Amino acid sequence: MCLTGGCNKMNVFDWLSNMEMPREDRFDVIEVRFKNGRKDYFRNPDKLTLVTGDAVVVEAQTGHHIGYVSLQGELVRLQMQKKKIANDSDIKKIYRLAHTKDLEKFEEVKKRELPTLYRTREIIRDLKLQMKLSDIEYQADNTKATFYYSAEDRVDFRELIRILAGEFKIRVEMRQISLRQEAGRLGGIGVCGRELCCSTWLSDFKNVATSAARYQNLSLNPSKLSGQCGRLKCCLNYELETYMDALRDIPKIEAPLLTEQGEARLQKTDIFRKIMWFGYREDNTWYPLNVDRVNQILEMNKAGKKPATLQADELEAKIPVATLNSDLAQLDKKFSSKNKKKKKKKRNRGNRDYRNNQPRRQG
């Protein structure tokens, strides 16, 4: 566990930090990070010289809190514009840099978080509330604690707040978070082998639908498509626009292709190579077709015509085996007739020699 409350959680690279700007024109709002990557913006009225990672004492609703500087300068202005945060008097201020005593007291306060978490879960079970408590964050002055929970339906926790305030002698704030935010606060390693996007850089959670998996030809297996939060993975939306652009050239197959050999059904589609595989019902072989050929067959089917096969419009005329072997047959006849003539000649020569060498009869 690093000193900032979580390693590499919502880190930001300040690419303008090495550029010198006039001190009077420097943006006076600072981005401060708290536990589990939670960030807020505070004004620096005294123009303190701050460096990324410095511990600062900031103003809170009741009392003060301690956070760490995560970003400053013009990038803070851009972040506020992106998140639509107004630069007005509602922004709280930074009091000072945190001293050693402030940090030591803050460490003592944070030791209360884990026992409070376990005890609060016991109280929730006793009250039979349908909610899941995931994290607790104590304020640095030990006067307030924020309880982060998730629930499917609305929860009446008035009795819970009364019990917690009486037992822990603090001001209680209940804050409901989504399951994606809960996974981001807890952190972890995804199936890709890297830290979860929700705990490192992703702050805006968009809706993820099962259609995103269908467009990308992914198997609709909940165990493979769900993240650690139990919802569909946020990364399904990353390449969705690229797939949507590529699918514009892919024809929609609502019925099997009709050929003289039978009905060919779509088995698989390679979206980026624009190749579609079709197979017949009683045949285990898949035939790859490009998009142009598929569109051609669809037009023929609309016109009431059927191609002979998926690859060809007409069947090739089969040549009889006898005609294919006609040349060989002629050669066999030719050589067989020559051999017969040679054998006859040899036999005739043998008869002449026998007659010539035969001894004459004496009489």
Quick one: pLDDT band at residue 217, thresholds 50, 70, 90? confident
**pLDDT tens track for 37-80:** 888 999 999 889 899 899 999 999 889 999 999 998 888 999 89
Candidates 6, 14, 19; CA nearest to 30 is 14
Between 199 and 10, whose confidence is greater?
199
pLDDT single digits (tens) 305-351? 999 888 887 765 555 555 556 666 777 777 666 555 555 555 555 55
Q: For the residues 237-259, what does the mean pLDDT come to?
A: 91
Beta-carbon-side half-sphere exposure of residue 278 (alpha carbons within 13 Å): 21
What's the rounded Cα separation, in Å, for the pair 299 and 296? 5
Locate all alpha helices (DSSP H) within the chain, ordered by sequence: 74-82, 100-110, 113-127, 158-168, 179-186, 197-200, 211-215, 222-225, 240-246, 291-302, 321-324, 326-356
Identify the pLDDT of residue 187.
83
Out of 11-15, 32-36, 273-277, pick the least confident: 11-15
- Report the predicted TM-score, pTM, of the whole model to 2 decimal places: 0.68
Residue-wise pLDDT for 15-33, tens only, equals: 666 666 555 567 899 999 9
